[in-house]
Amino acid sequence: MLKKFLVLLKRIIFSSFLLYGYNMIVNPLNLMIPINIITIGALTIFGIPALMSFILVYLIVF
């Protein structure tokens, strides 16, 4: 049980750093994705494809 919790915590931390790194890279282009519970949760569950879908949705909507 503790091992599953640590794996989940590791994925949450990785997702947070991934989103923060993306926001730092695209800051000059104004394509930032907010860091909140929904985006971190989606990145934790789905990984890189969720980030790509957030980028696509941001480009289509805005």
Confidence of residue 62 (pLDDT cuts 50, 70, 90): confident
Total number of domains constituting the chain: 1
Range of 28's domain?
Answer: 2-61
Q: What is the pLDDT of residues 9-60, one digit of tens each?
A: 999 999 999 999 999 999 999 899 999 999 999 999 999 999 999 999 999 9
Q: How many angstroms separate the CA atoms of 38 and 35, rounded?
A: 8
Q: How many angstroms separate the CA atoms of 41 and 3, rounded?
A: 19
